[in-house]
Structure 1
Amino acid sequence: MILSVLKENIENIIFDLDGTLWDPMPMSIKAWHTALNRFDCIENPISQEDIQGIMGMQHNLVGEKLFPYLSKEQQDEVINSCYMQEVQDIKQAGGVLYPGLEAVLETLGKKYDLFIVSNCQAGYIEAFYEYHGLGAYFKDFECSGNTAMSKAINIGMLIKRNTLRNSIYVGDTLGDYLAAEDNKLPFVFADYGFGQVPDIHYAITQIGDLEQML
């Protein structure tokens, strides 16, 4: 669906990362298996469904969901090890970019300022930039790993920090949609990602659809 009313006024596009710009699942599964093998306290092997189930979740809430049988201290130790392994693996081998991503960013970046707000850990976005060489396309980013805040708050912080007006948010989960709503931003649903969102006005089936939509 065309953003007909908003199209002429949009100045900025804020993106989620996982499930929106790339598929981190192969990288994440490998990294988590590597990290969890260091701990004798883990009762069951981590599965793809487990990791997919935490996509979009605020990073500091993941331990309680995946390892409720561990103490908070143990949860933090285990999760931090997994997060550090992810960042290390991204720096070494990257992840799976959605087809045509860089070309789309290059095209959109000529007309709009581009940003990222993700619920990932500190260092994750920087590693994504570093390995794939995409940092130059984005003006700024924020994540829960830096602030320990929700996505809604982080979007608001980024908007205030960059004095943004006329922005939209592109994401793939219900949490992304609610965070956009909290900031009164139009939301574009990436329905090729990891979540489901009911009653969506604007949706894309591949990242390249943004070029036609905007």
Structure 2
Amino acid sequence: MVKPDSLIFDMDGTLWDAVDTYAESWNLIFQKHDMKRNIKRDDLLHVIGLDGKRLTQVLLPEFDEKRGMEIYYEVNQVRREILPTSGGMVYKGVTEGIKQLSTRYKVFVLSNCAVGIIPLFLNWAAIADYVTDVMAYGTNQMPKNYNMHLLMDKHGLKSPVYIGDTNGDAEQTRIAGLPFIFVSYGFGNTDDYDQKFDDFESLSQYYMSL
């Protein structure tokens, strides 16, 4: 595989685990609307990484798309409010690894999340100064493969790789025509990858040695 000029990272399940905070944001909105619902961590684990429309179809099947998305937007507003204090668990090696990798590569974060979530993660993990740019689904409601090419065009990237933890990440990376790097410690699983790492330290060591 050609040495990449840039590393584009998924966020949830790849760089951190904030599922407990995400569940809390859903439940606060359910309470606000007096909805007899309660989302637990396990309910979210199998849908992490889905874009907003698909996510609401799974979690809120009783509502039409318009109402489902209205609730989704409310949830994300609450999420932006509570993440700075509730945060999440940054995976071992991520903070130091990103700092090291940024000395050799342009580093990006691309996620199927709402606008404003990635910067909150970067601040929580103390890596904002080491990430060149970010891209969220909420910016344009477009799939990851499209947004990968937006980053490539914007920054003149010639040989990026996408690093993620789910089969959906693999599928989107293949559509974009890029190499997919799988991290097995996250939320999903796939057999479709160019390389696999079982921890972030191994990933960092590999790319720093190229």
- TM-score of the pair, normalised by structure 1: 0.90
Q: CA deviation at 1:43?
A: 4.6
Aligned to 2:5: 11
Aligned to 1:208: 201
Q: Please tell me whether the aligned partners of residues 168 and 187 of structure 1 are also in contact (alpha carbons under 8 angstroms).
A: yes
Aligned to 2:146: 153
Corresponding residue SS for 1:68: coil
Q: CA deviation at 1:213?
A: 2.1
Q: CA deviation at 1:31?
A: 2.0
Rounded to whole Å, the distance in 2 between the matches of 1:46 and 1:15 is 27
Rounded to whole Å, the distance in 2 between the matches of 1:158 and 1:59 is 20
Rounded to whole Å, the distance in 2 between the matches of 1:78 and 1:192 is 30
Which of 165, 171, 176 lines up with 2:164 in the alignment? 171
Q: CA deviation at 1:153?
A: 0.6
Rounded to whole Å, the distance in 2 between the matches of 1:43 and 1:72 is 20
Aligned length: 207
Q: Please tell me whether the aligned partners of residues 39 and 78 of structure 1 are also in contact (alpha carbons under 8 angstroms).
A: no
Which of 59, 67, 81 lines up with 1:88 in the alignment? 81
Q: Kindly provide the amino acid, as one letter, of the partner of residue 34 in structure 1.
A: L
Whether 1:141 aligns to 2:134 is yes
Q: Please tell me whether the aligned partners of residues 58 and 151 of structure 1 are also in contact (alpha carbons under 8 angstroms).
A: no
Rounded to whole Å, the distance in 2 between the matches of 1:190 and 1:131 is 21
Rounded to whole Å, the distance in 2 between the matches of 1:185 and 1:46 is 35
Corresponding residue SS for 2:200: coil
Extract unaligned runs of 5+ from structure 1. none
Rounded to whole Å, the distance in 2 between the matches of 1:59 and 1:72 is 10
Q: 1:72 to 1:10 in 2, by over 3 A?
A: closer
Whether 1:31 aligns to 2:21 is no
Extract unaligned runs of 5+ from structure 2. none
Q: Kindly provide the amino acid, as one letter, of the partner of residue 83 in structure 1.
A: N
Q: Kindly provide the amino acid, as one letter, of the partner of residue 22 in structure 1.
A: W
Rounded to whole Å, the distance in 2 between the matches of 1:48 and 1:131 is 20
Corresponding residue SS for 1:116: strand
Q: Kindly provide the amino acid, as one letter, of the partner of residue 45 in structure 1.
A: N
Q: 1:54 to 1:199 in 2, by over 3 A?
A: closer
Which of 103, 106, 110 lines up with 2:103 in the alignment? 110
- TM-score of the pair, normalised by structure 2: 0.92
Q: Percent identity?
A: 27
Rounded to whole Å, the distance in 1 between the matches of 2:142 and 2:173 is 15
Whether 1:48 aligns to 2:48 is no
Identify, as 1 or 2, the structure richer in helix. Answer: 2
Corresponding residue SS for 2:32: coil
Q: Please tell me whether the aligned partners of residues 6 and 157 of structure 2 are also in contact (alpha carbons under 8 angstroms).
A: yes
Rounded to whole Å, the distance in 2 between the matches of 1:183 and 1:72 is 27
Q: CA deviation at 1:156?
A: 1.0
